[in-house]
Amino acid sequence: MLDKYQIKKDKIKFSVLEILNRLLDSNQIILESLQDCNREKFEKAKLLLKNVTQKTEDIDKIIVTTIALFAPEGKDLRELVSFFKITNELLRASSNTRSFVNGFEEVCGKVNIEMINEFAIPMQRSTIESLRYTIKILTTDYADEIESYMTQALIAESKTDDLYDMLEMNICKNETKSLEFIDYHNMLSALRKSEKVADRAVSIAALLIYAKSGEQVHQL
């Protein structure tokens, strides 16, 4: 392909990487926020994801114009189509992250801190790990590294599912007052969004592998 085509592809990759890094940074700040229910940090986490919708739309425009100008085929077309799907996953992950913050900051000081320490914080750490390994997949072309990173991303995402289920069971089996139950229900709803961020990260990782090799990854 032409040099101009490679420039376009590099710009798409760099833009996707920028949003992924913003997602990672935002979720790392959320982890800190969970430890002390710091509202300023929660707001900072949301601010990092400002204008993600516009950024993903800009990437989509580059992809569409690149396809129109260069009419790529085979592997090249597969890469562009994969990145087109990735922008949708990035948008959903960003929306899930903001929804998680909005939901959790309202109950963070009301629910049992032991539950936050035992379930919410480990869940958030696993979400961060899934994002981190997805970024590693984007930034390497070595097949053995990609396979290892994908395995780690899947393990991290699976941990978020397990921790959520354990927390849900814990809340259901413990008797709580009606007002307390509302707070715990709201906490579960918020944490479901965190779980979805990990899901989106794994979906992005799978699309990246498909873009690179054409291999379909079956998620756990």
- What's the pLDDT at 215? 86
Which CATH code is given to the segment(s) 3-213? 1.20.58.220
- Is residue 33's pLDDT more than 80? yes
Dihedral angle sign, alpha carbons of residues 200, 203, 204, 205: positive
Of 88-92, 111-115, 172-176, which gets the smallest average pLDDT?
172-176
- Is residue 175's pLDDT more than 70? no
Q: Structural domain boundaries of the chain? A: 3-213
- Average pLDDT of the residues in 20-46: 94
196 — pLDDT class (breaks 50, 70, 90): very high
- What's the pLDDT at 1? 47
- What's the pLDDT at 181? 76
Residues of the chain with pLDDT > 90: what percent? Answer: 77
- What's the pLDDT at 176? 53
- What's the pLDDT at 180? 72
